[in-house]
Amino acid sequence: MSQTAHIPSHRKPRRAGRNPLLRTGVAGGVLSTLAVTASAAPSSAEERRTAGDTIEMPVITPDLAAGAQQAADASRTIATRYETEAARARAAQKAVSEARERAEAEAEAERRAAAAEAERKERAEREARERASRAAQRTTLTARTTGTPDTTAPAAAPVGSGNTAALVSFLRAQVGKSYVMGATGPSAYDCSGLTQAAFRQIGISLPRTSQSQSTAGVQVSLGNLQPGDILYWGGAGSAYHVAVYIGGGRFVGAQNPSTGVVERDMSYDMPTGAVRVL
C-alpha cells in the first residue's frame, strides 16, 4: 500500500456497481438467442442443400386425369388395330396356301386321270391285238386242217417303195424309244421331233413344231390317206400333236411320256386331218 492510501482524500471513490440481476438477465437473453439461432439454422452443408432441393409435387387435376385416360384409350385402339391387321394377314396367307394346295391337288388328279386313260387305251389296244392274234391262229389252224385258204389273217401294211419305204422303215425302227418334250432323237423324241427326223432321212425338211407341220403340205381327207402322210390332231395351223400314217389304217408317233414312240391303229385316237408332203 502506498503511504497515502490511508488518507481518505487520496482514495478513488468506488463507483456504484450495476445491478447483478440485470447483468444476469442480459447475459441469459443473449445466450438464449444464440442457442435458438444455432438450433434453427441447418447443422451442416448437407442439410442446407437438402432444404434448398425440396421438390413440389404436381397436383392431379381433372384435365390431367382426362388426358391420361385419352392416351390409354388411344394405345388400346392402336393395339386392337394392329391385332386386327395381323389376323387379316394370317387369314390371307392361309387362303393363298389353301388355294395353292387345291391347285396342286387338282393338277395331280388330272395327271393321274390322264395316265389312267392312257393306260386304259393301251390295255384295250393290247387286248384287241391279242384277240386278233388268237382269231388268226384259230383261222390258220382251221385252214391247215381243212385245206381252205386263210382270208382273215391281217395283211401287212402297204409301205410302197423308194422314199415311202425308207420313211416307214425308219419310223418303225424308232418304236419303243422314249418321249421327251423338245427331243429330236436319236434316243428320244417328241411328236414333231420324230416326224421331222423321219422326213429328214429322205431329204425333206419340215418345220419344227406341230402347228407348222400341220400346214406344211397339201391337205388331204382321212378317207384318201397314203403312207407317208402327216396326221395331225387339232386345227390346221394350231395342231397339238402329229404322227405319220404308214398304211393299213395305222400310224407311228411319239405319243406321250408314259408310252413313248408307238405304232397304233387309227381307231385308237382318230386324227383331225392330214397333209401330204411326198
Q: Where are the domains of the chain?
A: 79-153, 163-276
Q: Is the pLDDT of residue 28 over 60?
A: no
Distance separating alpha carbons of residues 239 and 172, to the nearest angstrom: 23
Which secondary-structure segment (H or E) carries 128? helix 62-146
Q: Is the pLDDT of residue 17 over 60?
A: no
Residue 27's pLDDT band (boundaries 50, 70, 90)? Answer: very low
What is the per-residue pLDDT for 118?
72
Comparing 268 with 172, which gets the higher pLDDT?
172
Mean pLDDT check: name the lowest of 83-92, 198-207, 260-269. 83-92
Q: Per the omega criterion (within 30 degrees of 0), is the bond before 271 cis?
A: no
What is the per-residue pLDDT for 144?
43
What is the per-residue pLDDT for 11?
54
Exposed, middle or buried, 171 (CB in 10 Å: 0-12/13-18/19+)?
Answer: buried
- Report the chain's mean pLDDT, rounded to a whole number: 77
Mean pLDDT check: name the lowest of 9-18, 115-124, 177-186. 9-18
Distance separating alpha carbons of residues 55 and 48, to the nearest angstrom: 14
Distance separating alpha carbons of residues 174 and 167, to the nearest angstrom: 11
Q: Is the pLDDT of residue 125 over 80?
A: no
Q: Is the pLDDT of residue 246 over 50?
A: yes
What is the average per-residue pLDDT within 90-114? 85
Contact 251, 263 (CB under 8 A): yes
| Cα→Cα distances 1→5, 9, 10, 14, 18, Å | 6, 15, 12, 17, 27
pTM (2 decimals)?
A: 0.46
Comparing 21 with 207, which gets the higher pLDDT?
207
Q: Is the pLDDT of residue 174 over 90?
A: yes
What is the per-residue pLDDT for 244?
98
Of 2, 20, 19, which Cα lies nearest the Cα of 11?
A: 2
What is the per-residue pLDDT for 162?
82
Q: Is the pLDDT of residue 61 over 90?
A: no
Q: Is the pLDDT of residue 75 over 90?
A: no
Comparing 67 with 149, which gets the higher pLDDT?
67
Of 185, 224, 226, 229, which Cα lies nearest the Cα of 208?
A: 185
Distance separating alpha carbons of residues 69 and 136, to the nearest angstrom: 100
What is the per-residue pLDDT for 160?
45
What is the per-residue pLDDT for 21?
44
Q: Is the pLDDT of residue 173 over 80?
A: yes
- Which distant-in-sequence residues (6+ apart) come within 8 Å of 25 by Cβ? none
| Cα→Cα distances 132→99, 126, 150, 230, Å | 49, 10, 14, 27
Of 196, 276, 264, which Cα lies nearest the Cα of 231?
A: 276
Which secondary-structure segment (H or E) carries 218? strand 218-220
- 260 is written with which cell numbers? 413313248
pLDDT in tens, 269-278: 999 999 999 8
* 163-276 topology per CATH: endopeptidase fold (from Nostoc punctiforme) (3.90.1720)
What is the per-residue pLDDT for 158?
44
